[in-house]
């Protein structure tokens, strides 16, 4: 039976656990709401991963990790564009630019970071293909999954807590009416500022997430922080068409409605 | 015959069934089932799985129905159905179990999203020695000062009456503010 399904039913952490326990070899393909990712395993260990169209070639990874200067990176792109990562790796080691440990450490960091990003994906579909092996032209690593699984479990717990705190993304945000609360004095991250800039009773949290290109987990995480700091409050979106409550009162007449409530009050008092 | 309804909601074992039983003129029509989860079983033996249902006859033309929601999250599909057409709602919180406060907050937000009706929060089990202070519960639930947070002991009729009356006063106040 093909290993395929929905992340709502089977999370990334559960998939990693399965791969680890069954010592699987193959590639996990995940289609999220806006990106795709592939993670390859050999004998239950992480071998390679890639997210979207992100450049995951060795030269780029080493350059981003400051192991190659801008000049070295440019020369490699010009002269070694057709080299495989394995060939390039040997070349760089022989030239004394980097060590074998540098290469393996940075690849491991990059591949695990890709998997960490997948922990924030709560929507999407996946399938595991045993026929697709880790790409041979790329340098593979052999990384135990246990630590990643524990990290994933923590992320899952966080997700459940955030869902409890912010159950609906159809609500809006407004700045808290706290005298003395001055946003300028608060140290916010770039992401938090991006969200803050959209805080308006007219914008639903969904719309803010869409405008800031954040997924459900990321937007909940930031809003949770802002809520805890007492900077914002969750409110019903302004101008949202409220579904009229169904037969709240058996009459449309306002005076009759008030009379009805007063009758209820008198009855409860007399109990 | 005119009928109106109020909903009593809150986390598992907050005291919703007792609340309704304290004022209902009929024996509460309960859909309690024996608890299967060992963790929840250590708290109580049976829980509401669909709803509780109580009645207060106001006069020959008017009846108030009280609906209690199931507290366990796996029955939350019932919440939206029960909230339809409610005059207002009461969120029950177990003052002795701070570990349920976050869930109470979540339930409150969910019901607010269902219907823009007035609500009050009842801090139940205030007669217990390990009950949290009302002000502390207000902070823990992040309740605005405008929201009524009322001490309650759901096994006694008078505190339950007070909670219902406060909700009715809020409903009346909202009707009057809507006319201005």
**Residue B30 pLDDT > 50, yes or no?**
yes
pLDDT for the residue numbered A1: 46
Q: Which of B102, B116, B164 is nearest residue A164 as measured by Cβ atoms?
A: B102
Nearest alpha-carbon partner for B175 in A174, A175, A264, A268: A264
φ, ψ for residue B126, nearest 5 deg: -70, -10
Q: Which residues pair with A4 in a beta bridge?
A: A127
Round to whole Å and give the CA distance between B23 and A225: 41
Maximum distance among all alpha carbons in chain A? 93
Q: Most A CBs within 10 Å: which of B7, B73, B85, as the mutation test of the A interface? A: B85
User: What are the structural domains of chain B?
Assistant: 2-179 (3.40.50.300)
Inform me whether the pLDDT recorded for B50 exceeds 60.
no
- Output the pLDDT for position B75: 58
Q: What pLDDT is attached to residue A55? A: 86
CA dihedral B131, B132, B135, B136 (to 10 degrees): -170
A37, β-bridge pairs: A30, A51
The pLDDT-based confidence of B40 (bands split at 50, 70, 90) is low
In the prediction, which pLDDT does B48 show? 54
Q: Where are the domains of chain A?
A: 3-158, 172-235
Looking at chain B, list the stretches that DSSP marks H as alpha helix, in order from N- to C-terminal side: 16-23, 38-41, 77-83, 101-114, 134-140, 157-179
Quote the pLDDT of residue A155.
Answer: 80
Mutate to test the interface with A, among B8, B54, B116 (most CBs of A within 10 A): B116
**CA of residue B28 relative to chain centroid, distance:** 15
CA distance readout (Å), B77 to A192, B51, B74, B88, B93: 33, 11, 8, 19, 20
Instruction: Give the pLDDT of residue A178.
Output: 64
Contacts 24+ apart (CB under 8 A), B28-33: B28/B52, B28/B53, B28/B54, B28/B68, B29/B53, B29/B54, B31/B70
* Average pLDDT taken over every residue of chain B: 83
Q: Which residues of chain A have pLDDT under 70?
A: 1-2, 178-185, 239-247
- What local confidence, expressed as pLDDT, does residue A105 receive? 93
Residue B159 with chain A: CB contacts under 8 Å? none
How far A240 CA sits from the closest chain B CA (Å)? 11
- Asked if pLDDT for residue B78 goes beyond 80, the answer is no
Question: Which residues from B are below 8 Å from A249, CB to CB?
Answer: 4, 87
CB contact under 8 A, B109 and A167: yes
User: What value of ipTM does the predicted structure carry?
Assistant: 0.84
- B123-161 confidence digits (pLDDT tens): 999 999 888 989 888 888 888 888 999 999 999 999 999
DSSP string, chain A: --EEEETTTS-HHHHHHHHHHHT--EEEEEE-SS-EEEEEEETTEEEEEEETT----HHHHHHHTTSS-HHHHHHHHHHSTTS-HHHHHHHHHHTTSS-HHHHHHHHHHHHHHHHHHHTT--S-EEEEESS-PSPTTSPP--B-SHHHHHHHHHHHHHHHHHHHHS--TTSEEEE---TT--GGGS---HHHHHHHTT--TTSBHHHHHHHTT--HHHHHHHHHHHHHTTSEEEEPPTT--PPPPTTSSS---HHHHHHHHHHHHHHHHH-
Give the pLDDT score at B151.
Answer: 95
pLDDT of residue A183: 63
Q: Which of A158, A164, A228, A246 to mutate to test binding with chain B, by most B CBs within 10 Å of its CB?
A: A164
A→B interface, C-beta within 8 Å: 161, 163-168, 170-171, 227, 233-234, 236, 242-243, 245-251, 254, 257-258, 260-265, 267-269, 271
Between B44 and B162, where is the model more confident?
B162
Whole-number pLDDT of residue B43: 53
Question: What pLDDT sits at residue A168?
Answer: 80
pLDDT of A101: 92
Strand partners for A46: A41, A143
A166 contact residues in B (CB cutoff 8 A): 109
**Contact status of B139 with chain A (Cβ, < 8 Å):** no
Residue contact B4–A264, C-beta within 8 A: yes
- Interface contact B41, partner A, CB < 8 A: no
Residue B167 pLDDT? 96
Reported as a single tens digit per residue, the pLDDT across A141-199 is 999 999 999 988 888 788 888 887 887 888 888 888 765 556 666 778 888 888 988 88
């Amino acid at each position: 039976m093909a290993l395929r399904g929905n992340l709502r039913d089977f999370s990334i952490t559960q998939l990693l656990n399965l791969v680890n326990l069954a010592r699987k070899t193959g590639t996990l393909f995940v289609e999220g709401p806006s990106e795709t990712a592939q993670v390859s395993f050999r004998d239950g260990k992480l071998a390679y991963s890639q997210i979207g169209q992100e450049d995951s070639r060795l030269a780029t990874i080493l350059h981003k990790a400051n192991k190659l200067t801008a000049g070295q990176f440019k020369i490699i792109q010009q002269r070694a564009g057709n080299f495989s990562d394995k060939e390039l790796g040997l070349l760089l080691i022989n030239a004394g630019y980097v060590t074998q440990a540098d290469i393996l450490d940075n690849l491991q960091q990059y591949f695990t970071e890709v998997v960490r990003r997948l922990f924030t994906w709560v929507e999407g579909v996946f399938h595991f293909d045993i026929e697709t092996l880790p790409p041979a032209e790329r340098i593979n690593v052999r990384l135990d999954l246990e630590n990643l699984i524990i990290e994933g479990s923590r992320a899952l717990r966080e997700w459940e807590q955030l869902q409890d705190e912010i159950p609906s993304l159809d609500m809006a945000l407004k700045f808290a009416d706290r005298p003395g609360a001055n946003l300028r004095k608060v140290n916010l991250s770039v992401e938090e500022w991006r969200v803050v800039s959209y805080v308006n009773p007219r914008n639903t949290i969904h719309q803010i997430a869409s405008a800031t290109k954040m997924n459900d987990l990321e937007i909940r995480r930031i809003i949770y922080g802002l809520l805890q700091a007492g900077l914002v409050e969750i409110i019903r979106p302004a101008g949202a068409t409220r579904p009229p409550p169904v037969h709240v009162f058996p009459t449309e007449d306002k005076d009759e409605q008030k009379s009805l409530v007063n009758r209820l009050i008198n009855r409860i008092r007399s109990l | 015959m005119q009928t109106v309804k109020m909903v009593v909601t809150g986390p598992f074992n907050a005291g919703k069934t007792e609340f309704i039983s304290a004022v209902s003129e009929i024996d509460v029509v309960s859909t309690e089932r024996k608890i299967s989860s060992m963790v929840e079983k250590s708290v109580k033996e049976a829980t509401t799985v669909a709803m509780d249902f109580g009645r207060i006859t106001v006069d020959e033309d008017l009846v108030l129905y009280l609906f209690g929601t199931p507290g366990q999250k796996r029955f939350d599909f019932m919440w939206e159905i029960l909230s339809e057409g409610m005059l207002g709602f009461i969120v029950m919180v177990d003052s002795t179990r701070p570990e349920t406060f976050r869930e109470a907050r979540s339930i409150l937000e969910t019901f607010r999203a269902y219907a823009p009706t007035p609500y009050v929060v009842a801090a139940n089990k205030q007669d217990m020695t390990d009950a949290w202070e009302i002000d502390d519960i207000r902070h823990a639930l992040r309740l605005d000062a405008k929201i009524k947070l009322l001490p309650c002991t759901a096994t006694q009729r008078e505190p339950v009456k007070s909670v219902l009356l406060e909700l009715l006063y809020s409903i009346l106040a909202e009707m009057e503010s809507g006319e201005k």
